[in-house]
């Protein structure tokens, strides 16, 4: 930041560190050991889809890239109730012997990077990696693209279609467990609720 910027109170936006996604496998080991949470094998990238052929071609290119691998995951594009687009990457369900969370993180990194290098970085919102435990609790590890930080989001499903609630205690437990593994979002006002997010 320049001298004039500091006087006028202007700050440069934080740069996304997409390589932080490769820290998720080690964080997963911590979550399994401390809270019994394991990755579901799925993940998703959320963004605001832009109009026009350039964005459509970029999105199609991402899908082609992911589907070209010999062990290609299942991929699909959906739109949520708020109008945001989710590019979902579904690997097989987690198995301690065979699952490769690194492969999922590589796929999610590729989605983010492709959109970024093609000029659509401003459209990126977050990346989500869901976890679950044997009791059925679910929590999403959310990477905020513009902040370069992670936070946990744990929705509560009461099974009755009632009001949407969060498991605040679980979110705090996940935050505390991962304090040494990931760069966590300190401002809890940025721990946005991702109601209806894929995998949660």
Tens digits of residue pLDDT in 27-61: 999 999 999 999 999 999 999 998 899 999 999 99
Average pLDDT for residues 6-13, to the nearest whole number?
A: 51
At residue 69, the pLDDT reads 79
- pTM score of the predicted model: 0.87
Q: How far apart are CA 105 and CA 39, in angstroms?
A: 11
At residue 91, the pLDDT reads 87
CB 86 within 8 Å of CB 45:
yes
Task: List, for residues 64-102, the tens digit of each pLDDT value.
Answer: 999 997 788 899 999 998 899 999 999 887 665 556 788
Q: For residue 162, which phi and psi values (nearest 5 degrees)? A: -80, -160
Q: How many CB atoms lie within 10 A of CB 39?
A: 25
Average pLDDT for residues 98-108, to the nearest whole number?
A: 84
Question: What's the gap between Cα 88 and its chain centre?
Answer: 10
Q: For residue 54, which phi and psi values (nearest 5 degrees)? A: -60, -45
């Amino acid at each position: 930041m320049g001298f004039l910027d500091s006087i006028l109170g202007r700050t440069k936006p934080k740069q996304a560190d997409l390589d932080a996604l490769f820290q998720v496998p080690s964080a997963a080991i911590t979550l399994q050991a401390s809270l019994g949470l394991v990755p579901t094998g799925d993940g998703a990238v959320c963004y605001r889809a832009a109009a026009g052929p350039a964005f459509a071609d970029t999105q199609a290119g991402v899908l082609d890239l992911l589907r070209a691998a010999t062990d290609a995951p299942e991929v699909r594009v959906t739109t949520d109730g708020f109008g945001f687009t989710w590019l979902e990457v579904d690997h097989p369900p987690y198995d301690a012997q065979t699952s490769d969370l690194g492969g999922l993180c590589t796929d999610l990194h590729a989605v983010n990077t492709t959109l970024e290098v093609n000029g659509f970085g401003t459209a990126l919102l977050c990346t989500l990696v869901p976890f679950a435990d044997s009791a059925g609790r679910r929590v999403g590890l959310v990477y905020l693209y513009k902040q370069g930080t992670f936070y946990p989001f744990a929705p509560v499903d009461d099974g009755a279609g009632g009001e949407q609630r969060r498991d605040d205690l679980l979110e705090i437990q996940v935050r505390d467990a991962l304090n040494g593994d990931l760069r966590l979002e300190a401002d809890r006002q940025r721990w946005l609720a991702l109601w209806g997010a894929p995998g949660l």
